[in-house]
Amino acid sequence: MNHARFPLRWIALPLLAGVLMIAANSCGPVGDVIGDRDPPTPTSQPFSTATPGGKLSVWLITPTGQFSTPETPNPQTIGNPIGPAATATAAIATIQAATATAAAPPPVPYYQPNECPTPAAPAPPTRPETFNDYNVMIGRYLSSGGSPTVLEATLRNWGGITDKGGVVQADTDITGDGVLEVIVTLFNPMTYNAESILNAGQLLVYGCDAGGYRLLYATQFNPGIALPRLSRVGDMNADVKNELVFYTETCNASSCYKEAKILSWNAIVGVFEELNSGQIIAINGRIGIADLDADGILEMTAQINPPGTTTAGPPRSVLDTWDWNGLDYVLARREEEDA
């Protein structure tokens, strides 16, 4: 049997075609091969904390300026790391809080008389047995709603107020609370002598407090010191506050001495304080109040006329002027004049 012989190249060509078809079906187009590649494996970055995956905990100053009590940081707490910018913000908030605290107004006065009693028509007070009880009687009568007008008439009827002195004044606010205080000067009616040059007495100041009247100021009663005389109840130094100015007088065989005081209410401590830095004394002379330099502030003057002697002759008279320096009334000028 004769077999047909084929050339070798005829056998190789079909075999090569089959191999190419298998390769084409398994790989596909070139673009698909590039698109199906896996992304490159990223390079690991160094961790900012000592332990990979850990959290950073820091303490901050609270906005009020107080440090929180340090606690052990809890690694289980979920949070974000806080960088220098946040710490600076907290520090600025602390400074702002401290500045606001420093700029806050001072605390209000803890004592300021107010809350007056309701006006009423109580029975007239009973006359006290001793002069030391007069201030108590006056306070009780005013606290019961009694009228200052009726009080003045009562004291005049008892001899505490006469044509030579004594007053009940209730038309001025001298504590700055918007409520009028009651100022009383009265003689000791048990020792008053109309023929005497000087008669002892007392100055009393009452202010409203907790629905009643409280004694805010009183001069010390002394039988050898004359009744205090009011020189002014009003503003002296243009501080929009009313001052209380008065003087007392004592005499001996050759001279009489007047001593003046300028009182101003201190609402912080709840007392009247002297504005004069020293004793304002007039000897055989007068106490005066006037705006001598036309600056809107009142000055006080005190005449000093020492008694003369047979050997030295008449002395020179002196006029002291007391002026306001922003803190106190001080002796600003002393002028000598011929007698």
Residues 182 and 247 in one domain: no
Residues 197 and 254 in one domain: no
Residue 112: band (very low, low, confident or very high) from pLDDT cuts 50, 70, 90: low
- Mean pLDDT in residue range 15-33: 49
Closest by Cα among 167, 250, 149 to 204: 167
DSSP string, 244-279: EEEEEEEE-SS-EEEEEEEEEEETTTTEEEE-BSS-
Residue 102 domain-assigned (yes or no): no
Segment 130-185, tens digit of pLDDT = 999 999 999 999 999 999 999 999 999 999 999 999 999 999 999 998 999 999 99
Mean pLDDT for the chain? 80
Which of 206, 227, 248 is a domain's end point?
Answer: 227
Residues 112 and 221 in one domain: yes
pTM over 0.75? The answer is no
Residues 223 and 234 in one domain: no
Long-range CB pairs of 276-280, under 8 A, 24+ apart, other chains included: 276/300, 276/322, 276/328, 276/329, 277/328, 277/329, 277/330, 278/330, 278/331, 280/247, 280/320, 280/322, 280/329
Residues 184 and 286 in one domain: no
Residue 114 domain-assigned (yes or no): yes
Could you tell me the two tokens for 74? 């809890």
Could you tell me the two tokens for 201? 């007495």
The pLDDT of residue 18 is 54
Beta strands in 120-251 (DSSP E): 167-172, 181-187, 201-209, 212-218, 229-234, 243-251
Closest by Cα among 300, 297, 183, 279 to 236: 297
The pLDDT of residue 68 is 44
Residue 274 domain-assigned (yes or no): yes
Residue 70 domain-assigned (yes or no): no
Task: Mean pLDDT check: name the lowest of 70-79, 102-111, 267-276, 300-309.
Answer: 70-79
The pLDDT of residue 262 is 98
Residues 201 and 222 in one domain: yes
More confidently predicted of 10 and 102 = 102
Residue 155, Cβ density class (10 Å: 0-12 exposed, 13-18 middle, ≥19 buried): buried
**Eight-class DSSP state of 47:** P
More confidently predicted of 290 and 49 = 290
Segment 178-233, tens digit of pLDDT = 999 999 999 999 999 999 999 999 999 999 999 999 999 999 999 999 999 999 99
Q: Rounded to whole angstroms, how far apart are CA atoms 332 and 256?
A: 24
Q: State the distance between the two ends of the chain, measured CA to CA, in whole angstroms.
A: 183
Residues 213 and 112 in one domain: yes
Which of 181, 198, 227 is a domain's end point?
Answer: 227
The pLDDT of residue 160 is 98
Residue 321 domain-assigned (yes or no): yes
Residues 260 and 201 in one domain: no
What is the longest distance spanned by two Cα atoms in the chain?
A: 192
Residue 276 domain-assigned (yes or no): yes
Residues 296 and 256 in one domain: yes
Could you tell me the two tokens for 257? 């001495």
- Mean pLDDT in residue range 63-68: 43
Counting the structural domains of the chain, the total is 2
Residues 112 and 218 in one domain: yes
Block residue for tokens 């000055």? 299
Q: What is the domain extent for residue 238?
A: 228-339
The pLDDT of residue 25 is 52
Which of 227, 255, 285 is a domain's end point?
Answer: 227
Residue 8 domain-assigned (yes or no): no
Residue 197 domain-assigned (yes or no): yes
Closest by Cα among 220, 213, 146 to 180: 213
Residue 308: band (very low, low, confident or very high) from pLDDT cuts 50, 70, 90: confident
